[in-house]
Structure 1
Amino acid sequence: MAPRVIEQRGLWYEEFSPGAVYRHRPGRTVTEADNVLFTTLTMNTQGLHLDAAYSEAQPFGQRLVNSMFTLATMVGQSVAQLTQGTLVAQLGLSEISFPHPLFHGDTLYTETEVADLRLSSSRPGQGIVTLAHTGRNQHGDVVGRCRRTALMWTAEGYAAQETGTGTR
């Protein structure tokens, strides 16, 4: 008897429902190393991320996690549950805000609400989904928000392109 094979994937376009909220777990505890590595890899020399002595004298009294790390992690936390293998392309990010800082040692939890969806008028077998991501720390403080627009496969569209019977 052949073993049962289960391929994990995100959602097809038609599996999204406006208003549905997805909580992405586990959370991600952010370390000093995460922040310093991300900040230096992206050539962001902001002292608020790298210089502990300087940051102690600033309004928050400590280094801040790079907000681009917060944003990337919020989007990343949603991938396995929502878009893994079903995403055609990320079309854009908007309405990005960081109402409360994230600090070293904080744990980031993200949830995503499906804000809108529509079939693509120019790409058969694909649809556009708008996702509203909200990131919170372990205390429930909102540390990031954004709206993400994604081009997603329909199940039929994906199957057609896999077999070579669909149009691109």
Structure 2
Amino acid sequence: MRGLYFEEFEVGKVYRHAFRRTVTEMDNVMFTSLTMNVAPIHLDAEHAKTTIHGRPLVNSLFTVALIGAFHVPELTMGTTLGNLGYEEVKFPAPVFHGDTLRGETTILEKRVSKSRDDSGIVWFEHRGYNQDDVLVMTCKRAGLMMVLPPDGPPQDS
């Protein structure tokens, strides 16, 4: 399985990713602890009961990371040279333990790199939805993508 080369991206195309994942309490505690985010809204169930949500929130950066990974197998696996930046990251609804998330990606625009002859820049919009199809995350991202090799894409073995 490989991702797409720069030339294969079609501006305006929407990808509905097949992967789904249920977020667990362990995911939230581990990610929050590994990143040293000690906010009690993520880690302290008793404190969370006193908030507007009444229960712990999943760390929003975990949500970005998870939704941002759903596209990899079909869009960027082995064809990306790296992220160039994220912008307009939004969380229109909270994510809780037990929510099952899925993602969609739209190709916003693309252009050939001005400084490299082996790559182009692709702008993506990633959207995450929960099990009730409620939008929980959006972000725009620029990625540096490989151009097609002169001999064409490698053949899968």
Identify whether the pair has TM-score above 0.5, normalized to the shorter chain.
yes
Cα distance per residue 1:107-165 (max 9 Å; x no partner) = 111100000000011100210000000001010111100001000001126x69x9xxx
The DSSP-based 3-state class of the residue aligned with 1:11 is coil
Instruction: Return the TM-score normalized by structure 2.
Output: 0.94
Please, what is the CA RMSD of the aligned residues? Answer: 1.4
Give 1:1-168 correspondences, 5 Å limit: 8-156=1-149
Q: Which whole-Å CA distance do the structure 2 matches of 1:14 and 1:43 have between them? A: 40
Q: Which amino acid aligns with 1:42?
A: T
Deviation at 1:93, TM superposition (A): 0.4
Cα distance per residue 1:93-112 (max 9 Å; x no partner) = 00001010000000111100
Cα distance per residue 1:52-84 (max 9 Å; x no partner) = 001011001100000000000111111111101
Q: Which whole-Å CA distance do the structure 2 matches of 1:41 and 1:131 have between them? A: 28
Whose helix fraction is larger, Structure 1's or Structure 2's? 1
Unaligned segments of structure 2, at least 5 residues: none
Unaligned segments of structure 1, at least 5 residues: 1-7, 163-168
How many residue pairs get aligned? The number is: 153
Q: Which runs of 4+ in 1 moved over 6 A?
A: none
Identity %: 47
Cα distance per residue 1:7-66 (max 9 Å; x no partner) = x10000011001100111221100000000000000000111000001011001100000
The DSSP-based 3-state class of the residue aligned with 1:151 is strand
Q: Which amino acid aligns with 1:32?
A: E
The DSSP-based 3-state class of the residue aligned with 2:117 is coil
The DSSP-based 3-state class of the residue aligned with 1:69 is helix
